[in-house]
Chains A and B, each alone.
Chain A
Amino acid sequence: MKTAVKRLLAASVVATALGGSLVACGSGSGGSGDGANGELTLWTHNAGNKEELAAIQSLVDEYNAKPDKKATVKVQAFPQDSYNDSVVAAASAKKLPCIVDIDGPNVPNWAWSKYLAPLELSADLSKNLPSTLGEWNGKTYSVGHYDVALALLARRSDLTAAGVRIPTIDSPWTKDELDAALEKLKGLGTWEHPLDLGTGGTGEWLPYAYSPFLQSAGGDLVNRDGYQSADGTLNGDAAVEWAEWFHGLVEKGYAAQKSGKDTTADFIAGKSAILYTGSWAADKARAALGDDLVVLPSVDLGEGPKIGGGSWQWGVTSGCKSAEAAMDYLSFTLAPENVAKIAQATGTIPATEEAAALIPAYAPGGANSIFREFSQEFAVLRPETPAYPFIATEFGKATQDILSGADPKSTLDKAVKDIDANIKSNGGYKG
């Protein structure tokens, strides 16, 4: 047996060395080897979401049918909840496809790890919403077809019944106003928890949805000056005040500590009066409620309302053997009508005004154009640092703990300690 193991080990070492050197010749450290033989693969996070996947597939089909295409593109879809797990595992094994779908805030981490190549597109990106571009160290690594905006959804009839002012983009609810509104709504006795914050969500939803509250209160995930520490920003007075307010919503019974899996369905079914969610939910809610639906700006906790900017974007991996073809495909998809097609299917904000004009709901005066305004007025990018994925998990855990009643100051202090240690152990993520 010993010799057999030795032989196998030897064989695999040789094979690895051979494989490794081949890859090393052909590409950078993202060495996937995908893109050979005039075929390249594209990974997306839409498995199980028929409309979105169909829209992407139709673009791919269209590209593949083009006479001047540079390669044949193949779609591989993953379910969103496990997409990052699958991609990270593949990245660690250097088995990435040519084109990947990435959640915007993770782009700097990927660029820093040299898994992504800077984009060289023939399409003009200057008119894109800034939040649809993933940049790091002065280079653009990813581009999105759309952005999403956070908002509050409610029924006009409920707010009127409770005698609550309907806020506008110029005059959003303040902290005290929201508190008073929730008290009145709760007083109607219709809802156990009038506000649904989507607290049952996990993963990237937590920092995406709740760090804007923190920013509106004057705190942040990390000190953006150099991105070397979170001390003072994530655990300063403003942050602690935010955490106390946030937990207060649960404590006073305004929001559930853990809401349902499908908050839009719960809202439509009348289980909540105000739903904090993204623009993607608006079409479904409007279809169910009609004109009674009102789309409200997020709450102003001091620094004006904030919402998260940056959604899913596309990048090309550094190991791709036909990067030129991958760039060509991306450029093709960035034509206004193609951007419009994706944005329409996903119910999101198109990345350019030109594309927006093609979608009635997002065209000026359209029912969803308010989301575009929210995006322009309130959007804050999540910190553009390779440390982001780590910061995101720490912040996500901290918010869950705070919602469950953990002491705000010590919870945030622990998150800061872990984040600072992580940044330090990665050499400040420089380079």
Chain B
Amino acid sequence: MTVLKPQGVLRPGTGPVAWLARIALAAVFAFPLLFMVVSSLKPDQQIFGDLGSPAAFLPVGHLSLDNYAAVFDRVPAARFLLNSVGVSAVTVALGVVVNSMAAFALSRMRVRGKGIILTLVIATLIVPFETLALPLVWWVNQLPWLTANGFSLELTTGWLDTYQVQVLPFVANAFSIYLFHQYFDSIPKELDEAARMDGAGWFTIYRRVVMPLSGPAVATVAILTFLPAWNSYLWPLMVVQSEELRPVMLGVQYFFQLNVSWGEVMAYTSLITLPVVALFIAFQRAFVNSIAASGVKG
């Protein structure tokens, strides 16, 4: 990661108090998750037995992957993971393109009424999804879709029990548009003016000038689109019926049948959390590097 050279002056935030605070906070944030992962390797008896001692956070005692084996036995976990990866990836890809285009037009181009549009877009932020879910179930079931049937396309009605119903409602996002808008505003206008002098059209400026400079905004929007897509629960519960289309969160309920094994619960929750953590750590690097590389500051 990028570490800048010391600046020659004493920088605040490097004293022992700050370090102590950092470490204490890290413990608070990491320990519950550590507990989850460590417990996933232990049999139930030991999970409960270790609660009263530091062993709860340590991989000690009888460790095995038994819980993971049981998870795959109980849930089609591989399929669920694949579905979630696909749904999240497509949502992120479409989300970045759709929202950045809208934000670009609103930030850079002369469009009449764009102030009102931006206000309206931001107003959609106040609507929590849960309260729309029910009417939306009915509504998506009225929507048409083209389905490939052999070599011909067929018009079908109803999006229930499909992949698109898990993706499309979450592509356009007011918060993403706002973030892009804010970021684009901070990119000096001189850059696109120069491109315009070279005869570039607006779309080219968007694609070749502004977007390449917007790495941090793309990374942020990608993360913020990915997380709810990966974590969605209530919506797929309502609109997905086939097991082969279910995302990972619907697997959680599989573990609260008659016999509950907390070890298995911990194993499954670890299994669906760790890929996201890994992805975030990878993204975090890109995020940091792109800040350093573009040199864009306010």
Contacts and interface: CB of A to CB of B under 8 A. Distances in A.
A79 B242 contact: no
A48 B260 contact: no
A18 B158 CA distance: 12
Nearest to A90: B241
Q: Which of A11, A16, A77, A89 has the most CB of B within 10 A?
A: A89
A50 B134 CA distance: 32
Given A12-B144, A86-B238, A86-B241, A48 B157 contact: no
Contacts of A280: 258
A107 B253 CA distance: 24
B238 to A, nearest CB: 4
B158 A19 contact: yes
A288 to B, nearest CB: 12
Given A79-B253, A85-B238, A93 B260 contact: no
Given A48-B75, A93-B160, A262 B243 contact: no
A404 interface: no
* Category for how many chain B residues contact A: 20 to 34
Contacts, number: 90
A281 interface: yes
Interface stretch (B13-21, B22-30, B135-143, B281-289): B135-143
A48 B254 contact: yes
A15 B157 contact: yes
A47 interface: yes
A16 B157 contact: yes
A265 interface: yes
A80 interface: yes
Interface string B238-260: 11011100000010011111111
Given A11-B144, A15-B144, A18-B157, A48 B257 contact: yes
Interface in B121-151: 134, 137-138, 141-144
A79 B256 contact: yes
Interface of B: 44, 73-75, 134, 137-138, 141-144, 155, 157-158, 160-161, 237-239, 241-243, 250, 253-262
A4 B84 CA distance: 31
Given A48-B254, A48-B257, 8 more contacts: A50-B73, A79-B257, A89-B137, A92-B137, A93-B160, A97-B241, A260-B260, A261-B260
5 nearest CB pairs, A to B: A48-B254, A79-B253, A19-B157, A262-B260, A89-B238
Given A15-B144, A76-B243, A93-B158, A284 B259 contact: yes
Contacts of B75: 47-48
A95 B241 contact: yes
Contacts of A94: 141
A176 interface: no
Contacts of B157: 12, 15-16, 18-19
B113 to A, nearest CB: 11
A37 interface: no
Given A79-B253, A261-B256, A89 B237 contact: yes
B254 A47 contact: yes
A209 B48 CA distance: 28
B241 to A, nearest CB: 6
A40 to B, nearest CB: 14
8 contacts: A16-B142, A19-B157, A48-B257, A76-B242, A90-B241, A93-B138, A93-B160, A262-B261
Interface residues of A, number: 35
Nearest to B144: A15
Contacts of B254: 47-48, 79
Interface string A91-124: 0111101000000000000000000000000000
B88 to A, nearest CB: 21
A79 B249 CA distance: 12
Nearest to A96: B241
Contacts of B243: 47, 76-77
B141 A264 contact: no
A81 interface: yes
Interface in A220-242: none
A50 B72 CA distance: 12
Nearest to B139: A12
A160 interface: no
Contacts of A262: 258-261
Contacts of B73: 50
B259 A89 contact: no
Nearest to B238: A89
A165 B238 CA distance: 50
A150 to B, nearest CB: 14
Contacts of B258: 49, 262, 264, 280-281
A15 B237 contact: no
B237 A82 contact: yes
B105 to A, nearest CB: 12
Contacts of A265: 44, 259-260
B253 A48 contact: yes
Contacts of B253: 47-48, 79-82
A272 to B, nearest CB: 15
B155 A15 contact: yes
Contacts of B260: 260-262, 265
A389 B142 CA distance: 27
B241 A50 contact: no
Contacts of A284: 259
A141 B67 CA distance: 41
B74 A95 contact: no
Contacts of B141: 93-95
Nearest to B234: A85
Nearest to B143: A12
Given A95-B158, A281-B258, A15 B241 contact: no
Contacts of A82: 237, 250, 253
Q: Which of A19, A93, A264 has the most CB of B within 10 A?
A: A93
B161 A95 contact: yes
A49 B257 contact: yes
Contacts of A12: 142-144, 157
